[in-house]
Structure 1
Amino acid sequence: MPGRIQSIERAAAILRVLAGGTRGLSLAEISRSLELPKGTTLGILRTLQHVGFVEQDDETGHYQLGGGVLRLGSRYLDGNELRTRALNWADALAGRSRESVRIGTLHEQQVLVVHHVFRPDDSRQILEVGSLLPLHATALGKALLAFDPHALPEYVRDQSELPGFTKRTLTEVADLEADLSRARIGGWAAEIEELVEGEVSIAAPIRDRRGTAVGSIGIRGAIERLCDGRKPHMEQVSYVRDAARAISRELGAGPW
């Protein structure tokens, strides 16, 4: 059986030390606390800083936990508590909108569908729980990109063009950024025939007690049902936003 990897154990120890502090810690304090040479400690800190798990204050030089660790903590919630807290609200949204409802979270630069409620009619439908969807071509994904400040830079890094699925998919990063800016202003996101021709989806972010977007909830259906021309019906938008706010309150988010 393979043995433990010392460098990973030391990195984990550094993260625990930083998590236990109420303020940033200096290199000397971290090194002394763990009884590690300063050179070794500095090398690990720089690696953790590179991947976003540690941040360094420009003025004091002290180290603290970075946004990457906070997002990992949020993702722990996603597949378990998020789905549990959202069940009733997702059912209610399906009833009000008369459309299918999906809840998604960010997973390896895609949207992972963690809950799916069928459209309340007699049509044949396929359960989508566990499906992975593109972030830039779905309303669920856009809601995550728009309201997670770290998600978009990571998603578009090293990409000059985004994959296209229909002639309406936003493949230019600048166009996507403009669309996400509108989503942030309005508090909701939409995609109109960007993933599948003839289909539309509307979504809004789900936040936790820190105000972090830990997921999104949305409806999906035919363009003739959900749109007036090429604009989503605002009544449907209000249903989605009401559901997102309700689930967010269940997770401890304040009023917003």
Structure 2
Amino acid sequence: MARTIQSLERAAAVLRLLAGGERGLGLSDIAASVGLAKGTTHGLLRTLQQEGFVEQDPSSGKYRLGAELLRLGSGYLDAHDLRARALAWTDDLARSSGESAYLGVAHRHGVLIVHHVLRPDDRRQAQEVGTMQPLHSTALGKVLAAYDPAAYDAAVGAGLAAVTGRTVTGAEAFRRGLEEVRSRGWASEVGETWDGVASIAAPVLDRRGAPVGAVGITGAVERVLSGGEPRPGLVAAVRDCARAVSRDLGSGRF
């Protein structure tokens, strides 16, 4: 068996940890989480900072991912066939729905956002390309778990932890919910990941009819829902977008 390089494994562990920290992490927290001495961790962080992969907030001293990772990652995303095929369609989805549009793929135990079209208004928003969302509590994740057995196993294996008080955490309830997703061809969630926020998503299929991603919208509950249910026009817009991207990928299922 080929030997691995320990320093690279440790650096990768630090980067993965920082990827999940929204507001940055301090040296002690990072060292404790990756199981390394503070001196070793500080050396890793200093090297990663010199290469631009990590940044340190001068006021708080906390570390976060650096801009160099975004530059390297954009090369992967630009070459990603799914994202390339979905660019125009997700732009249209955001414009027609008035909400943020997302394209996600299953990655490890979550949903990797590979494309994000900001909501078409003047309010301040953050670009979320490259971030991870839960598989079990988001509409994107539920779609992936419903159509991809590997994503389902990853979601259940991660423990179905409560993100908010509305998150479905029971394995049986989660399984039944995914059956409904497959039956109707789309997923939704209300306040399961963020309070006051709802989302709708549908699967993107390739020429074999296999799920390769999910597309959806996210917005305030009062805009996405009507009478406690997702607005039919928004559901139709999301499904039309998913069908269009799937057709561009050669799927004949729809």
Hey, what does 2:172 align to over in structure 1?
A: 174
State the 1:148 CA deviation: 1.0
Which of residues 194, 197, 201 is equivalent to 1:196? 194
Q: Identity of counterpart residues, as a percentage?
A: 49
For 2:179, give the aligned amino acid: S
Q: What SS does the corresponding residue of 1:95 show, helix, strand or coil?
A: helix
The reply to whether residue 82 of structure 1 matches residue 82 of structure 2 is: yes
| Post-superposition CA distance 1:135-194 (Å, at most 9, x none) | 00100000100111332134314x6x5211111000111111111111000100011000
Hey, what does 2:146 align to over in structure 1?
A: 146
Task: Assess if the C-alpha contact under 8 Å between 2:209 and 2:251 holds in 1.
Answer: yes
Unaligned 5+ runs, structure 2: 4-75
Task: Assess if the C-alpha contact under 8 Å between 1:78 and 1:214 holds in 2.
Answer: no
Quick one: distance in 2 between partners of 1:189 and 1:174? Answer: 17
Quick one: distance in 2 between partners of 1:111 and 1:79? Answer: 19
Q: What SS does the corresponding residue of 2:193 show, helix, strand or coil?
A: coil
Hey, what does 2:105 align to over in structure 1?
A: 105
Q: 1:35-50 alignment to 2 at 5 Å?
A: none
| Post-superposition CA distance 1:201-246 (Å, at most 9, x none) | 0000000011110000000000000101321011100000000000
Quick one: distance in 1 between partners of 2:137 and 2:156? Answer: 13
Quick one: distance in 1 between partners of 2:94 and 2:163? Answer: 26
The reply to whether residue 222 of structure 1 matches residue 220 of structure 2 is: yes
Quick one: distance in 2 between partners of 1:222 and 1:99? Answer: 9
State the 1:78 CA deviation: 10
Quick one: distance in 2 between partners of 1:143 and 1:220? Answer: 14
Quick one: distance in 2 between partners of 1:117 and 1:204? Answer: 16
- Structure 1: which 4+ aligned runs deviate by more than 3 Å? 76-79
Quick one: distance in 2 between partners of 1:78 and 1:186? Answer: 32
Hey, what does 1:122 align to over in structure 2?
A: 122
Using structure 2 for the length normalisation, give the TM-score: 0.68
Task: Assess if the C-alpha contact under 8 Å between 1:205 and 1:217 holds in 2.
Answer: yes
Task: Quote the RMSD (CA, aligned, Å).
Answer: 1.9
For 2:107, give the aligned amino acid: H
For 2:213, give the aligned amino acid: G
Unaligned 5+ runs, structure 1: 7-75
For 2:94, give the aligned amino acid: A
Hey, what does 1:5 align to over in structure 2?
A: 2
Return the index of the structure with the highest Cα Rg.
Answer: 1
| Post-superposition CA distance 1:77-119 (Å, at most 9, x none) | 9970000000000000011101000100000011000000000
For 2:137, give the aligned amino acid: A
For 2:244, give the aligned amino acid: A
Which of residues 241, 244, 247 is equivalent to 2:242? 244
Hey, what does 1:131 align to over in structure 2?
A: 131
Task: Assess if the C-alpha contact under 8 Å between 1:79 and 1:114 holds in 2.
Answer: no
Farther-moved stretch of structure 1 (223-232 vs 87-96): 223-232
Hey, what does 1:27 align to over in structure 2?
A: none
Hey, what does 2:252 align to over in structure 1?
A: 254
State the 1:255 CA deviation: 3.5
1:246/1:177 CA distance change after superposition, 3 Å: same
